[in-house]
Chain A
Amino acid sequence: MAENTTKASKGVFAATVTSNRQIGRRFYRLGLDLKGSAAEVFAGYKAGQFVQIDLSGTALPPQEAIAEELRDTSSRNIILRRPFSFADFTVKVGRISAEILYGVVGPSTVRMTTLRSGDTVSVIGPLGNGFWVPEGKKLAMLISGGIGTGPLLYLAKSLTNNYAGIEPIAFAGAKTKEDLPFEGKLDRIAQDLGFSVGEYARYGIRSQVATDDGSVGFAGLVTDCMAEWIRQNNPNPREMIIYSCGPLAMLERIAKVTTERNIDCQLSMEEMMACGIGVCQCCAVACKGANPNETIYKLCCKDGPVFDAKDLVINS
């Protein structure tokens, strides 16, 4: 057989768990090391891309350690992998260190909490298309809802390291203070200075938080907090871009606003995936076709997960 000279762009790899830190009532950060051929293939990983992790062989915690509302579903015998984006990613000599920010919401993430340093997990990746930076941008607004903050944290780092001409500013929203997936205390002084979230402040990026119940930061939706900031600061729409990840309702609101005002916007979408590599066709996302009224389905895993908001069919 002819030698296969094209280098694989993705693959199935073993990753080593380096840490698994609880950072809130239901949030964790999982550290992974990728070595050898995995490190080579992952070297080009872009913020917003993702990996599929096999947690089917990972142990459940003891019943009493599982939140009561998750006990029914967590006992389910899972078979499919789960998609996660990296919240941090560092290329080191001969290896890559990555971190996943995750929330405990179902049978896979309940199992994920039992991973310990030294464990091995199977990952497929890097998958999908990450965020990209169009020409002529000076301001990047990073808007996240709940656990959707994960990929935006690494995007913040990439923008800081690679785009000196772009000023990022971040907005993170959740129902309550407890639903914000951050390690720091969100103290008042930092908020007053405009650096609410330590995870963004470490890159010198200003941030604000919003909670539906007003338990911390702006009282209301993160999209209203964002709109308020735009009203006050009046940035040039052509020089700005909005990057967002979070619940569908939030993404739809953002898509509507940015399409109306002709602001560049990229959304990281989520849809149930089985394979993550484009063969199962489960993760259909409604997109605009060639004709104005035509809806086509693109695949979240292969055509996304990051989409240009203008290409999406948004429910109003």
Chain B
Amino acid sequence: MTDLKYLLFLGCAIPYRVSAYEVSTRKVAQKLGLDLVDMPEYNCCGLPLDPVSHDLMLTLAARNLCVAERQGLNIMTLCPGCAGTLRKVNKMLKEDKKIKELVNEYLKHTGLEFSGSIEVKHLMQVLSEDVGLERIKGAVQRPLSQLKVAEHNGCHVLRPVKYAGFDDPENPTVLKRLIEATGATCLDYLDETECCGAPIIGLNEKIPLQLARDKVRHIKDAGAQAMVTVCPFCHMMFDANQSRIERMFNETFGIPVLHYPQLLGLAMGLSPDELALKELRVDASRILSNLRS
């Protein structure tokens, strides 16, 4: 079996507002024997500044990759934006000599040089490819067989295919299999593969809230009791903004939005407190009491 040791790249959004995702990931990782080393001296992956300067995005990402190369460890991220960016830049620099030269020229100012010796994976990839479904199923002590949920993947884990090379963005199944490993049922719904709109919320609030509203509506109509995400930004759109969406459209949803490791942790027998379920804005206690009965 491969050595399950990774540099944990936390990114910006998780320490800023979504620490329940980090808390639950660390708890679940411990149970699965994943060794997570905090990535030292990391900076923003670069994605948020790609619209401002593509060169800076490449260089910020490359700097992170160089730090990991020095540590000699592969990176695991929780945020699909970070995973998508670091993975893409890693691939670009490994394959495109011209871009590698350009970025290394910038990196010279810091004494770093990209060599291309590590890999980057999102949590979902580590769980499905390295840990494996069988081992996850083996760690489940309290199957969530009474729970029906719907999934929402993060765009950047899956797209663009050219750089992602993971799962099928038109018909993603990895997160579904991971959810089913907990014993829960994962339901299909209409616009399952659609973006949540979060990246433009700083410029236009109406469009992302409409997008998120449609998804939550369809999830509720499909009969799901909760939603499961693997991205801090998507999570904010559906959880932190859910009451705003309800007011805006005069509808009631009350759909709790769990980070995948929270769902997995519950199935492993960890307590709601250990998994920071209290931090969710949409109260999850109703689904929890169903599980106990």
Q: Do A and B come from one complex?
A: no
User: Which residues of A approach B to under 8 Å, CB–CB?
Assistant: none
